């Protein structure tokens, strides 16, 4: 196998201080939730819960209960009830996440925010809008477009992902190169804390005190549930040009990325797609991409004032040609621009033409390292006998190798995840990061020990405990499970309290054991990912047969851990 390039730190980090305790039983809990929200917004039937058993990743686990509140106050009341029942709470937007962040890996209550989908106010004079967390990203831009404004962070999932979910993961997107990612466009938040209190952060320019808004953005639901977002509105650029540059190999395409930015030009977007990706996308969308299976494309968007944009476009075309582009085409009409972007934004949906399943890797490297890393990705994929396709935000150095596989093949998922981990290590060694935009969630938490030292992780864990001392919100996310003695502490901390274990026992009519801990159901369903719909929070992965287990990911059951004497958790 390819050599691991990065040092690995072992990091015994404890993130929780005390197990949850329960003062009300399940029946009382459900009764109170129904009284609060109405019976149609409290889901407890297995068939309903299955819809929420995964996000866009491989991990599946059933929540105990799903609730769909419509107001901030209702969210706060649900949180208080969950605390009383000793049940973890997992906030969820559209469930398009690609790191397992919205999956109830320890069971508990999923709070789906999709019914909170109102744009509360729009203030063009101050260029801001206040929205509910369940507003679909694209809907905000559509609402303000007639006034010449848009919301800049545009994940390729923007037709379905929610602004609350985008805040949870600090989402990026093709047009974040020039304007920055979600954190740069969130001016303030309304947040429900684990004790049910509601706080406001930011909201005024240069708000004094600590930057709590920045802290909550990207915290993946582990410290607070976002129930309101003040978004920055951007003025629509006067003019836009879109170029399609085609290259025979990866090196000149990568060099072009560095040369454009090195020349002091920051395009609105600078995306790369390789041959297999282009071929599948072209067959699906007729976007105008080369379909020979080997050509590499750069999609370059330039925007700004009309004056000077032609000159800038000519400069960029020259840079492409000098680096060795085979051709450079300027989209001649809005229809042509739309077609080029439809190909890129719908690209994941086209992957079903290549394989039944894919795993989408997400890492960042300095853009100068792109050729080296892309070659390494190919090398690892070959060693693990995996087909790949690449489509990514090249200007940001944000890689997205898609590892294609068929989950019905024995060991395919494990092989894919191992290959992905090798790629992650290589990105870190190249000076990069373990995630460019999808977050850490459940899936990448092991990689945190590659990227951070024990001291780094301990500082983060301390911050988390300040807001979430009982690990009520989204447990088992972001932080790696500890090792050695730390592992015992972690296992103890994450073990179900007796009352909660009771709740998790099979109920009459349950055909299979209820899940505790994730299992690999199947990979991302490669068909129609871009068709996903936010309302109801439908899961991307779909429904599968289960091999649920009551053991946690370490293969240890809560009963086994219960016997271990656990010292008080320290920092
Ligand atoms: C086809 C496709 C393309 C994608 N393209 C991109 C891309 O270009 N850029 C990118 O960044 N991502 C992309 N993603 C990943 C995903 O869409 C983003 O991570 C998105 O931000 C998730 O939003 P969501 O509403 O689906 O959140 P979910 O998946 O439901 O949740 C994501 C995380 O946020 C937390 N969360 C959700 N709502 C709240 C809340 N109100 N308060 C606190 N925490 C909350 C959850 O607990 C979870 O940890 C893509 C996914 C798909 C399927």
Alpha carbons 309 and 462: distance in angstroms, whole number: 49
pLDDT at 160 over 80: yes
Alpha carbons 292 and 297: distance in angstroms, whole number: 12
Q: What is the largest CA-CA distance in the chain?
A: 73
- 384 pLDDT band, cuts 50/70/90, is very high
Query: 443 alpha carbon to ligand 1 midpoint, in Å?
Result: 14
Query: 270 alpha carbon to ligand 1 midpoint, in Å?
Result: 22
Query: 96 alpha carbon to ligand 1 midpoint, in Å?
Result: 5
Query: 309 alpha carbon to ligand 1 midpoint, in Å?
Result: 34
The pLDDT of residue 340: 96
Residue 269 near residue 303 (C-beta atoms within 8 A): no
CATH number of 119-235: 3.30.465.10
Higher pLDDT, 132 or 520: 132
Q: What is the mean pLDDT of residues 141-160?
A: 96
The pLDDT of residue 4: 31
Residue 235 near residue 303 (C-beta atoms within 8 A): no
Alpha carbons 57 and 50: distance in angstroms, whole number: 15
- 462 pLDDT band, cuts 50/70/90, is very high
Alpha carbons 401 and 360: distance in angstroms, whole number: 6
Higher pLDDT, 505 or 330: 330
The pLDDT of residue 212: 96
pLDDT at 387 over 70: yes
The pLDDT of residue 557: 29
Share of the chain above pLDDT 70, in %: 81
Alpha carbons 158 and 145: distance in angstroms, whole number: 15
The four Cα atoms 367, 371, 376, 377 give a dihedral, to 10 degrees, of: 70
Residue 432 near residue 450 (C-beta atoms within 8 A): no
The pLDDT of residue 217: 98
Instruction: Give the tens place of pLDDT for each residue, 89-110.
Output: 999 999 999 999 999 999 999 9
Alpha carbons 113 and 79: distance in angstroms, whole number: 13
The pLDDT of residue 447: 86
526: Cβ contacts below 8 Å, ≥ 6 apart = 348, 351, 352, 354, 355, 356, 357, 358, 404
Query: 552 alpha carbon to ligand 1 midpoint, in Å?
Result: 25
Top-confidence range, 117-126, 384-393, 400-409: 117-126
Residue 131 near residue 85 (C-beta atoms within 8 A): no
Alpha carbons 539 and 122: distance in angstroms, whole number: 31
- Domain ranges in the chain are 26-112, 119-235, 239-348, 355-429
Pocket lining for ligand 1, CB < 6 angstroms: 55-56, 90-98, 101-102, 113, 133, 155-157, 161-162, 164-166, 168-169, 171-173, 220-221, 225-226, 348, 437-438, 441, 474, 529-530, 540
Higher pLDDT, 284 or 541: 284
The pLDDT of residue 519: 40
Alpha carbons 174 and 154: distance in angstroms, whole number: 7
Beta strands in 4-159 (DSSP E): 42-43, 59-60, 65-67, 89-92, 109-112, 119-123, 128-131, 149-150
Q: What is the mean pLDDT of residues 415-428?
A: 90
Quote the mean pLDDT of the chain: 82
Instruction: Give the tens place of pLDDT for each residue, 346-369.
Output: 898 898 889 998 888 888 888 888
SS3 per residue for 205-226: CCCCCCCHHHHHCCCCCCCCEE
What class is the 26-112 domain? alpha beta
Bridge partners of 188, per DSSP, are: 202, 230
Which residue out of 169, 199, 345, 436 has the highest number of ligand 1 atoms within 8 Å of its CB and is therefore the one to mutate? 169
Please give the structure tokens belonging to residue 194.
């684990």
Bridge partners of 246, per DSSP, are: 297, 327
Alpha carbons 124 and 145: distance in angstroms, whole number: 11
φ, ψ dihedrals at 482, nearest 5°: -75, 170
The residue written with tokens 């976007």 in the block is: 287
pLDDT at 162 over 90: yes
Alpha carbons 270 and 316: distance in angstroms, whole number: 11
pLDDT at 163 over 70: yes
Instruction: Give the tens place of pLDDT for each residue, 310-351.
Output: 999 999 999 999 999 999 999 999 999 999 999 998 898 898
What's the CATH architecture for 355-429? 2-Layer Sandwich (3.30)
Alpha carbons 348 and 336: distance in angstroms, whole number: 20
The pLDDT of residue 488: 31
Residue nearest to atom 11 of ligand 1 (CA): 171
Dihedral sign, CA of 418, 419, 423, 425? positive
The pLDDT of residue 144: 98
Alpha carbons 204 and 229: distance in angstroms, whole number: 13
Same fold, 119-235 and 239-348: no
Ligand 1 atom nearest the C-alpha of 438 is 19
The pLDDT of residue 254: 92
pLDDT at 550 over 50: no
Was domain 239-348 assigned CATH 3.30.70.2190? yes
Instruction: Give the tens place of pLDDT for each residue, 168-212.
Output: 999 998 889 889 999 999 999 999 999 999 999 998 777 789 999
Residue 38 near residue 6 (C-beta atoms within 8 A): no
Q: What is the mean pLDDT of residues 244-266?
A: 95
The residue written with tokens 């086209």 in the block is: 350
For the chain, the C-alpha Rg in angstroms (whole number) is: 23
């Amino acid at each position: 196998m390819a050599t691991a390039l990065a040092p690995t730190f072992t990091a015994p980090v404890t993130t929780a201080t005390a197990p949850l305790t329960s003062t009300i039983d399940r029946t009382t809990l459900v009764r109170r939730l129904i009284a609060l929200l109405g019976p149609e917004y409290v889901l407890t039937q297995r068939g309903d819960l299955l819809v929420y058993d995964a996000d866009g990743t491989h991990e599946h686990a059933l929540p105990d209960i799903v609730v769909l509140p419509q107001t901030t106050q209702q969210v706060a009341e649900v949180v208080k009830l969950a605390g009383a029942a000793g049940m973890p709470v997992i906030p969820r937007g559209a469930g398009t996440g690609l790191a397992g962040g919205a999956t109830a890996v320890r069971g508990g209550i999923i709070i789906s925010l999709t019914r909170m989908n109102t744009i509360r106010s729009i203030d063009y004079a101050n260029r801001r809008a206040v929205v509910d967390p369940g507003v679909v990203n694209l809907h905000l831009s559509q609402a303000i477009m007639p006034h010449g404004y848009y919301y800049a962070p545009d994940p390729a999932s923007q037709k379905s992902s929610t602004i609350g979910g985008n805040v949870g993961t600090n989402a990026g997107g093709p047009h974040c190169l020039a304007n920055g990612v979600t954190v740069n466009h969130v001016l303030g938040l309304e947040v429900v804390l684990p004790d049910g209190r509601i706080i406001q952060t930011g909201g005024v320019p240069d708000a004094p005190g600590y930057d709590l808004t920045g802290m909550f953005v990207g915290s993946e639901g582990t410290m607070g549930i976002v129930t309101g977002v003040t978004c920055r509105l951007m003025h629509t650029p006067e003019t836009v040009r879109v170029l399609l540059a085609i290259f025979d190999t990866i090196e000149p395409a990568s060099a072009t990325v560095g040369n454009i930015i090195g020349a002091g030009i920051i395009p609105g977007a600078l995306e790369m797609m390789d041959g297999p990706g282009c071929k599948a996308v072209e067959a699906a969308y007729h976007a105008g991409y080369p379909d020979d299976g080997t050509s590499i494309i750069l999609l370059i968007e330039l925007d700004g004032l009309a004056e000077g944009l032609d000159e800038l476009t000519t400069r960029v075309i020259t840079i492409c040609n000098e680096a060795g582009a085979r051709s450079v085409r300027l989209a001649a009409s809005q229809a042509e621009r739309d077609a080029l972007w439809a190909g890129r934004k719908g690209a994941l949906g086209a992957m079903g033409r290549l394989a039944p399943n894919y795993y989408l890797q997400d890492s960042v490297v300095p853009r100068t390292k792109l050729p080296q890393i892309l070659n390494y990705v190919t090398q690892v994929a070959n060693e693990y006998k995996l087909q790949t396709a690449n489509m990514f935000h090249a200007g940001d150095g944000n890689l997205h190798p898609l590892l294609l596989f068929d989950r019905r093949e024995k060991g395919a998922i494990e092989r894919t995840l191992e290959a992905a981990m090798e790629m992650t290590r290589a990105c870190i060694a190249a000076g990069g990061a373990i995630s460019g935009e999808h977050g850490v969630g459940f899936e990448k938490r092991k990689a945190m020990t590659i990227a951070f030292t024990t001291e780094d992780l301990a500082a983060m864990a301390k911050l988390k405990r300040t807001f979430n001392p009982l690990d009520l919100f989204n447990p088992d996310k972001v932080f790696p499970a500890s090792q050695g003695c730390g592992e015992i502490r972690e296992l103890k901390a994450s073990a179900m309290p007796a009352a909660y274990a009771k709740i998790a026992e099979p109920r009459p009519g349950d055909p299979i054991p209820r899940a505790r801990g994730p299992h690999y159901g199947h990979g991302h369903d490669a068909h129609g990912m871009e068709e996903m719909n936010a309302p109801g929070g439908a899961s991307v992965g779909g429904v599968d047969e289960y091999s649920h287990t009551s053991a946690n990911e370490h293969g240890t059951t809560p009963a086994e851990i219960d016997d271990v004497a656990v010292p008080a958790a320290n920092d």
